[in-house]
């Protein structure tokens, strides 16, 4: 819940894969270097990383998902992320990744 003194929060969901055969090295870089760098970008306040159980397939083509919590607009945060000058690794498969902004949580009524 957002109060007057607390900014609204949204999420940016990243779906990524490592380069084939580089899973171990990718995880080390991603969690020890990349995520801490992202959290220095203004508006990024948290990150939760998830690994797919089993092998990627037709229903779930990505091995890793990261849910970034951001203050304010997730779409604007994505723009800041792309222009922040963060380093990328050749361990990350840049040919097929998704960075999707999701707005404020929806209310569910019975």
pTM across the whole model: 0.85
pLDDT in tens, 36-94: 999 999 999 999 999 998 777 777 889 999 999 999 999 999 999 999 998 889 999 88
What CA–CA distance (Å, rounded) separates 26 from 67? 17
Q: Per the domain annotation, does 2 fall within a domain? A: no
Q: Given its phi and psi angles, is residue 72 left (phi above 0), alpha (psi -120 to 50 degrees) or beta? A: left
Q: Per the domain annotation, does 49 fall within a domain? A: yes
> Residue 87's pLDDT is what?
84
Q: Per the domain annotation, does 78 fall within a domain? A: yes
**Nearest-CA neighbor of 52 among 43, 62, 44?**
62
Report the CATH number that the domain containing residue 21 is assigned in CATH: 3.30.70.100
Domain that holds residue 26: 9-102
Q: Per the domain annotation, does 46 fall within a domain? A: yes
Q: Per the domain annotation, does 68 fall within a domain? A: yes
> Residue 44's pLDDT is what?
97
Q: Per the domain annotation, does 98 fall within a domain? A: yes
> Residue 106's pLDDT is what?
76
Q: How many domains does the chain have?
A: 1
Give the list of residues 6+ apart from residue 71 with CB closer than 8 angstroms, or none.
Answer: 7, 8, 9, 43, 45
Band the pLDDT of 95: cuts 50, 70, 90.
confident
> Residue 5's pLDDT is what?
67
> Residue 107's pLDDT is what?
73
């Amino acid at each position: 819940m957002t109060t007057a003194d607390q900014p609204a929060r949204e999420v940016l969901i990243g779906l990524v894969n490592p380069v084939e055969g580089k899973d171990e090295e990718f995880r080390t870089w991603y969690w020890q270097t990349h995520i801490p760098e992202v959290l220095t970008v203004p508006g990024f306040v948290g990150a939760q990383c998830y690994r797919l159980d089993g092998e990627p397939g037709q229903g779930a083509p990505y091995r890793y998902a990261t849910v970034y919590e951001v203050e304010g607009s997730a779409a604007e945060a994505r723009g800041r992320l792309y222009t922040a000058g963060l380093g990328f690794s050749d361990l990350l498969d840049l040919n097929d990744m998704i960075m999707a902004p999701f707005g404020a949580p929806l209310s569910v009524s019975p």
